[in-house]
Structure 1
């Protein structure tokens, strides 16, 4: 079986996994999602086994594990409409295949030069933000105490940021710089998620607020690590962050019972 066929097979099997979780009793769904995470790791590793080396067993496989977990959690929040859930399943299958292709490019590019690397960076960045939104929208939907929201965002953001920063230079080891910036950005998101937890905003607005912060921070650090952090780039990212902050603040139901 060729590698492309393995990637397709892994995507289809994980799509079936997402579908099968819906038939599991509510009390056992989170255990089923944990099992899905293990299956996702195994299938992704199997599909890319030939080129996986060293730290890639961690960095390359983070997103292929977190993506199905995030979609499975978000799937519970959707209305029980056949068309809506079918569209999400189709979206997941296509996204999973694109993600595995992207990670495979990173996997190969760590060994030799490959032309599709720039496109893979763009897709990887987008999927990282998408996974973050699905996870954090789910976290805020639980309506936990602010500290719990912040802790869960911290825990989930660190691996997402770690793999995204590692993918910039695709080094053989996780450098102290990558780990440091991953931790710093995660702590920044911890603080922002704690802050927005006490704002009278909707669940989606809170999740988008934190995801935008991830977009700004991750974009700036990735450009810094690649040596392309110019004043214009900094201004563009900061303007986006400021605009979303002001919009979220303005849309908050201040003075009203939330």
Structure 2
């Protein structure tokens, strides 16, 4: 039965499958946003299962080894974070429609990027570099939304740090994998991902003691994640050059200056 359904979907072009997957998830997310927050939480697991299923239908071909995890991290993360973040926005139709539309556009971009990593395009090609840049941007965007949600709850700093570490780990895991995508996982990938998560956890603790607005808290931690991911990807790709590291330090430094100026003493 599964083989028969697979053959049916294989007859559909991959971009059409991606569009269909985006449409299905967008409709479900749109419906959920009409529910109260405490009720919507019960839809997270069904939403995750549906996301995994339609992502598989979209990609469908040549999924091997660690790709069964890696190719699904961004669609799953975006979907859950989008649902939780929606309830921080004004709840009305004029918010709901553009929000779901933007979600579907980002999800489609994720599908295109993950497909490129899946087919094993040479890292020297512009196609890979485009997918790599898009994936990194979306990872930072998800982290920004995630930390905005996390800090908006006003949790104890230790609990916020622990949740932040757990939630950031799969995103670090994916960001390091795309630096050298293979179906067999390198041992250093998950070790470095765990280490980066711990560093970010300490960053969350540090940020909790600063007099900042919620959005600035989130930007501070995303800036740290940007620096950690950037340097780690250079290590994975064996391209750790002084000028490349300087770029990350300069950008990180500019963001830190902006954040310091935003402090509310």
TM-score with structure 2 setting the length:
0.91
- Structure 2 Cα separation of the partners of residues 56 and 213 of structure 1: 27
Report the CA distance between 1:2 and its aligned residue. Answer: 1.9
1:28 matched to 2:39? The reply is yes
**CA contact 1:161–1:182 (8 Å) conserved in 2:** yes
- Per-residue CA deviation, residues 145-183 of structure 1 (Å, 9 max, x unaligned), is 111111111001110010111111112222111112111
Report the CA distance between 1:115 and its aligned residue. Answer: 5.3
Instruction: Report the counterpart of residue 2 of structure 1 in structure 2.
Output: 13
The equivalent position to 2:165 in structure 1, one of 137, 154, 159, is 154
1:131 matched to 2:142? The reply is yes
The equivalent position to 2:56 in structure 1, one of 30, 36, 45, is 45
The equivalent position to 1:166 in structure 2, one of 148, 173, 177, is 177
**CA contact 2:33–2:96 (8 Å) conserved in 1:** no
Instruction: Report the counterpart of residue 204 of structure 2 in structure 1.
Output: 193
**CA contact 1:220–1:237 (8 Å) conserved in 2:** yes
Report the CA distance between 1:69 and its aligned residue. Answer: 0.9
The equivalent position to 2:104 in structure 1, one of 93, 109, 114, is 93
**CA contact 1:105–1:114 (8 Å) conserved in 2:** no
1:231 matched to 2:242? The reply is yes
- Structure 2 Cα separation of the partners of residues 26 and 118 of structure 1: 39
Q: 1:114 to 1:251 in 2, by over 3 A?
A: closer
- Structure 2 Cα separation of the partners of residues 136 and 41 of structure 1: 24
**CA contact 1:21–1:33 (8 Å) conserved in 2:** no
Report the CA distance between 1:54 and its aligned residue. Answer: 1.1
Report the CA distance between 1:110 and its aligned residue. Answer: 6.6
Structure 2 gaps of 5+ residues are 1-11
Structure 1 gaps of 5+ residues are none
Report the CA distance between 1:101 and its aligned residue. Answer: 0.8
Residue-pair matches, total: 254
Runs ≥4 in structure 1, deviation > 3 angstroms? 110-115
**CA contact 1:129–1:211 (8 Å) conserved in 2:** yes
Report the CA distance between 1:34 and its aligned residue. Answer: 2.7
**CA contact 1:48–1:104 (8 Å) conserved in 2:** yes
- Per-residue CA deviation, residues 71-103 of structure 1 (Å, 9 max, x unaligned), is 111111111243333222111111111111111
Q: CA RMSD in A?
A: 1.8
